[in-house]
Structure 1
Amino acid sequence: MPERTPQGGSTHGAQGPERDGHGGPLKRIGLAEVYNPSMKPTLLPGDQLVVTYGAAVRPGDIVVLRHPFQHDLLIVKRAIERRPGGWWVRGDNPRVENDSREFGTVPDDLVVARAWLRLRPPRGLQRSPGPVLRWSASAVRPLSGPLRPRTPAAGSGASGPAGLLSKRLRAR
C-alpha cells in the first residue's frame, strides 16, 4: 500500500530496498514522484526522483524523510545543515513553509533516502524537433554525487527506517 507524503516531493511508485543478504547498491535504489511545489524551481510536480535508501546525507542534498509530526507522511526537502537533534531541512520554494521553519530539526532516523537524479517527463505533446531536443537536454539532471553508504552511527542498522518502508512510497 502506498504511503502518504507531505509537501515537496512525493515518492509515489518508489521501490523500497529489498534485503536479500547481498547488500549491493542496486538493492537500495527506488523512484519517487514529486506532487507538490515546495521544491520549485528545482523540482516540479510530476518530476521523478531516483533515490538511494540509507545513503549518507550532506548539506545541500535533496532527501526524502518522514514528517516529524506525521510519520506516515513522506516529504522531499533539501538538507541544509546538521544541528543538535538532526537535520535542518527546507524547501527550495520560499512561499511554502512546511519544513524545519515549522517543525524544527529532523532526527536522522526519519531520513529515508537521498535523491541523486531527477527525471522530468515531457509536458504536452512534443511534435517538432526543437521542443524534443530542449526537453531531452533537461529531462535528466543529477542532484547529488555518487552513492555514499550511510555510516552505522547515522542510521539504525539493517532494520532501520528503510526496512520499514513499503515497496511503493508517496511523498509530497
Structure 2
Amino acid sequence: MPQRMDERERGLERRGLRRLALVEVSGPSMTPTVNTGDTLIVRYGARVRPGDVVLLRHPLQQDLLIVKRVVERRDGGWWVVSDNALAAFANDSRDFGAVPDELVLARGLLRLRPPADVAAQRTVRSAVSWAAVAVRPLSRRLRAR
C-alpha cells in the first residue's frame, strides 16, 4: 500500500529537497576536487551535463557507488573519468566504458571538507576560516583527456 506524504514532505518534494543526500567519499581518484573524508551534497535525479561530478553505480559491480566527473556523451551512455591523473587505479570509463543513464544516480552540488581538528574550531574566527575553504561548489571544469 502506498504511503501518504504529509504536508511537510509534499513541500520538500515540490522544492526538490527530498532528492538531496549526503555522501561520504573514500579513495584518491577524485583528488584534488574531492578527498577521502569529504562529504558531498548530491541531488538525485538532477540533469547531468559534461563537467559535472556525479554519483553512480559501478557498471561491473553495481553494489558499489563511485564518484566521477562526466566528460561527454557517447554511444551507450556517459564517459566518466577520475580527476586524479596520478591515481594508480582510475576505476573509470577507461576501464569499464561508457556508463548507461540508469546507473548515473545523482549530480554533486557541494563539497564539504571536514575540519582538520574539530577541537581547534573554538572561536568564531577559526570556524569562519575553516568554512571559507571547506564548503565549495563542485565546479564544471573539464580536463583534456
Question: Is TM more than 0.5 here?
Answer: yes
TM range (shorter): 0.7 to 0.9
Q: 2:60 aligns with which of 69, 79, 98?
A: 69
1:15-42 deviation digits (Å, cap 9, x = unpaired): xxxx949442011110101111100000
* SS class of match (1:102): helix
Structure with higher Rg: it is 2
Q: After the TM superposition, which parts of structure 1 deviate over 3 Å for at least 4 consecutive aligned residues?
A: 19-23, 127-134
> Following the alignment from structure 2 to structure 1, what is the Cα–Cα distance between the partners of residues 20 and 45?
9
**Which one has a larger percent strand, Structure 1 or Structure 2?**
2
Q: Which has the higher contact order (CA 8 A, sep 6+)?
A: 1
Deviation of 1:134 (Å): 3.6
> Following the alignment from structure 1 to structure 2, what is the Cα–Cα distance between the partners of residues 74 and 127?
32
Q: Which amino acid aligns with 2:31?
A: K
Corresponding position of 1:27:
18
Distance 1:131 1:37, change over 3 A: farther
Unaligned 5+ segments in structure 2 are: 141-145
Corresponding position of 2:143:
none
* SS class of match (2:94): helix
Q: Which amino acid aligns with 2:106?
A: A
1:109-158 deviation digits (Å, cap 9, x = unpaired): 1001111011111012426867645422111101158xxxxxxxxxxxxx
* SS class of match (1:44): coil
> Following the alignment from structure 2 to structure 1, what is the Cα–Cα distance between the partners of residues 130 and 35?
14
Corresponding position of 1:84:
75
Q: 2:101 aligns with which of 108, 131, 139?
A: 108
* SS class of match (1:39): coil
Equivalent residues in 2 for 1:1-172 (5 A)?
20=5, 22=10, 23-24=13-14, 25-96=16-87, 97-124=90-117, 125-126=119-120, 132-143=127-138
Q: Normalising to structure 1: TM-score of the pair? A: 0.67
* SS class of match (1:78): strand
**Which one has a larger percent helix, Structure 1 or Structure 2?**
2
State how many pairs are aligned: 127
> Following the alignment from structure 2 to structure 1, what is the Cα–Cα distance between the partners of residues 19 and 121?
37
Identical positions, percent = 57
> Following the alignment from structure 2 to structure 1, what is the Cα–Cα distance between the partners of residues 133 and 27?
20
